Structure 1
C-alpha cells in the first residue's frame, strides 16, 4: 500500500531537466523530496504537491525519500515523445518510451539482421557503485573507445536518480546509456538485456559495455532473495549472443556481515548456481590473508570448475578515481574504508583493456 501526504514546496535546492531536489513542508515539518520533471512536470516554490512518503515512513535506506506523485498547481501536461512501448506498465505512473525495437523505430530491422556480438567484452556488475571505478579505469586507459552503460531494472527505475551517471556522462566517462525492462530514461530504451546488448554493439557501436542495476539493490539476507541475482542471467545472455562476459565479484573486508566478507555470498550464489555459461571472473592480487581468504572461498564453492578465474595485479584504482575527481561510496564507505570493493571493478576494466588491446 502506498502512503501519501500533501506537502508544499518551500525550496528547490537543486534542479536540472531530469531531477529536482526539493524541500517540502509536510504538516509543519521540512523534509527532503525528489521530483522527476519528465514524469510529473515542473515544481516551483509554493506549489502544493502530493507525495509518496512510504519509504521514509518505513525508515528505508534504499529509496528512502519522498517522491512527488503530482503537482496540484501544475496538473496537466502533454506527451513529450511518441513511443508506444510502456514502462511501469499498468501502474498509475506508466510512461511511454521510444523503444529501439518498436515497429516504428528506425532501428527495428537491426534486430532481425543481428548475428553475433563478435566477442564484445561486457562487464557484468551488481551494485551500482561498481560503475564509477570501472568507468574511470577503463576510460583512463582507453580514452578514445566508446563505453556504454546498460542499466537494468533491479533497483532504481529512473536513470535520472543516479547522480553517478550524470557525473560520468558529464566527464565523458560514459558515452551512452541504455535502460532496460522497466528502467527508463537512458539515451536508448530497450525491452530486455538481449536487445540492449544488440543495441550497444550494432547501434551505439560500443567498444565495451558495463551492465548493472541503478542505485539501491534489494536484499533479504537469504540465499536467493536479492536483486543482484540478475548477474547470472546477464552472464548467460552475453554468452548466448556471442560476447565475452567479465563478471565483477563483490569483494569486501570492511562489511561487518560475515556473509559479505571476502567474496560476498551474493557472488558465490550467482557464480556457482545461477549462471549457466562460463564467464571470466577477475580478482585483484593482494597476497597475504585477504587473498588466502578469497582463494579458499573459490576452492570451497567450486566456481573455478565452472568459470575462468583470473588474478591480476592492479594498484591503480584509487589514482584512476582521483584522476577524474570522482567521489565513490558503497554502503556508506569510500575507497579508503573498502578498497577491495572498488578495486574489483577497476581490475575488471584493466582485464578488458588487456584483452582488447592485444
Structure 2
C-alpha cells in the first residue's frame, strides 16, 4: 500500500510556510520531494527525512512526487488553538481545522440561518486546470466582483500543492478559498459542498463561485471510474440550494484518446447519466469544424433536451491570460497545444457576463 524510504535533504529549491520544494538524496540518487511544514515540520539541508515514495515508484502522473512523512531531526510539533473538526480522519496524518459550520465558530449562526443561494452563479469544473482560464476571463471583465474558489477532495487534498491557486491569490484574482471534505488549507474549511456554498454566499458575499478538485485526477478508462464524476452531485447541490448551476464541459481536440475527443466521455457521462437537474452548459462557438463534432455529440446524447446549451462567442481567452501574465497547462499541454480545452473554461466566464450580469441584476 505504501512505500517508504529515508532520504537526506540536499537542497531547498523553494520554501514557504505551506510547502517546500526540496531535493533529497536517496541511496545516492537526487530526487524531487515536497514537504508540508505544517504537517511534517520544518526541514533544513542535511536533515534526515522519511519519505512516501509510492507514486514515484509506480511512475504515476497523479501525485507523482515524493512527500516527506516526518523529519527525523525535527519530529515534534504542536497544533494551533481553535477548531475541533478533523480532516484525514483516523489516519496518522489527521489534522485539526477550524470548520466554518462547527458550534464554536463565529459563523455558525449564519450557516444555520441560511435560506437560499438566490440564483448565485456556481461554475463547476472537473479538472483543476480549468480554474486559471476561467478566473482570468472573469476577473478581467469583472474586477470588482467577488470570486470564491471551492476546492473539493477529488484529487490533491492540501490546497498548498496548487501553484495556480498561489499565483491567482497573489495577483488578487481569487478573493477567498474554501476546502471541503478531506481537502484542507483553504482560507475557510467546510465539511461538505453544501456548507461551502452557503459559506460563499452568507459569509463571503460571493458574486460567483468556481468549484473543482485540486491538482490531479484519477481515471480508469471506464464509464464511471473517474474522480471528475463529482461534477454531477455538485451541480445537484447548487440547484438544491437555489443556485445557478453552470457546467464546464471537458473539451479537447489535442488528446489522442478517442474517448476524450471533442466533448470528453467524462462530461457526457456526468451530463447524461449522473446529474439529476437541468444545468447551463456554455459552449464556445469554435471557428472551424470542431463545433460540428461537438454539436453532433450534444445531439446524439440528447444533452440539448436535458440541459440548457448556450453557444457563446469567445476569442479572448489567450488575451485574458496574457493580460495577467498567466500560464496554463493541462495533461502536459499548454494553451497553443490544446486551446479548445482552455477556451471551454474561459467561455463559462463569458456566459456569466452575457446571461447573468447583463440583465441589470447581480446574478
* TM-score, scaled to structure 2: 0.98
Q: In the TM superposition, what whole-angstrom CA distance separates every residue of 1:210-240 from its partner, at most 9, and x where no partner exists?
A: 0000000100000000000000000000000
Within a 5 Å distance, the mapping from 1:318-329 to structure 2 comes to: 318-329=318-329
Structure 1: how far apart are the matches of 2:136 and 2:216?
21
Q: 2:244 — aligned with what?
A: 244
Alpha-carbon shift at residue 288 of structure 1 (Å): 3.5
Q: Secondary structure at the match of 1:311?
A: strand
Q: 2:162 — aligned with what?
A: 162
Q: In 2, are the aligned partners of 1:12 and 1:20 still within 8 Å (CA)? A: yes
Q: 2:357 — aligned with what?
A: 356
Q: Secondary structure at the match of 1:49?
A: strand
Q: 1:213 — aligned with what?
A: 213
Q: Secondary structure at the match of 1:288?
A: coil
Structure 1: how far apart are the matches of 2:142 and 2:240?
27
Structure 2: how far apart are the matches of 1:163 and 1:357?
33
Alpha-carbon shift at residue 41 of structure 1 (Å): 1.2
Q: In the TM superposition, what whole-angstrom CA distance separates every residue of 1:123-156 from its partner, at most 9, and x where no partner exists?
A: 0000000000000000000001110000000000
Within a 5 Å distance, the mapping from 1:263-342 to structure 2 comes to: 263-342=263-342
Alpha-carbon shift at residue 81 of structure 1 (Å): 3.5
Structure 2: how far apart are the matches of 1:288 and 1:253?
12
Structure 1: how far apart are the matches of 2:289 and 2:137?
26
Q: Secondary structure at the match of 1:296?
A: helix
Q: In 2, are the aligned partners of 1:81 and 1:97 still within 8 Å (CA)? A: no
* 1:13 equivalent in alignment to 2:22: no
Q: In 2, are the aligned partners of 1:136 and 1:324 still within 8 Å (CA)? A: yes
Q: 1:4 — aligned with what?
A: 4
Q: In 2, are the aligned partners of 1:131 and 1:210 still within 8 Å (CA)? A: yes
Q: In the TM superposition, what whole-angstrom CA distance separates every residue of 1:254-306 from its partner, at most 9, and x where no partner exists?
A: 00000000000000000001000111001000143211100000000111111
Structure 2: how far apart are the matches of 1:287 and 1:26?
51
Within a 5 Å distance, the mapping from 1:61-80 to structure 2 comes to: 61-80=61-80
Structure 1: how far apart are the matches of 2:178 and 2:298?
33
Structure 2: how far apart are the matches of 1:49 and 1:162?
23
Q: Secondary structure at the match of 1:201?
A: helix
* TM-score, scaled to structure 1: 0.99
Structure 1: how far apart are the matches of 2:43 and 2:351?
46
Structure 1: how far apart are the matches of 2:133 and 2:172?
14
Runs (4+) of structure 1 exceeding 4 A deviation are: none
* 1:50 equivalent in alignment to 2:46: no
Q: Secondary structure at the match of 2:315?
A: coil
Structure 2: how far apart are the matches of 1:346 and 1:42?
38
Instruction: Count how many residue pairs are aligned between Structure 1 and Structure 2.
Output: 358
Q: 2:28 — aligned with what?
A: 28
Structure 2: how far apart are the matches of 1:286 and 1:110?
43
Structure 2: how far apart are the matches of 1:105 and 1:60?
39
Q: Secondary structure at the match of 1:42?
A: coil
Q: In 2, are the aligned partners of 1:81 and 1:96 still within 8 Å (CA)? A: no
Alpha-carbon shift at residue 48 of structure 1 (Å): 0.4
Q: Secondary structure at the match of 1:320?
A: helix
* 1:174 equivalent in alignment to 2:181: no
Structure 1: how far apart are the matches of 2:332 and 2:148?
26
Structure 2: how far apart are the matches of 1:287 and 1:324?
25
Q: Secondary structure at the match of 1:151?
A: strand
Between 285-294 and 255-264, report the one with greater CA deviation.
Answer: 285-294
Within a 5 Å distance, the mapping from 1:85-164 to structure 2 comes to: 85-164=85-164
Q: In the TM superposition, what whole-angstrom CA distance separates every residue of 1:40-95 from its partner, at most 9, and x where no partner exists?
A: 11100010000000000000011000000000000000112321100000001110
Is there any run of 5+ residues in structure 1 with no aligned partner, and where? none
The alignment's C-alpha RMSD in Å is 0.7
Q: Secondary structure at the match of 1:126?
A: coil
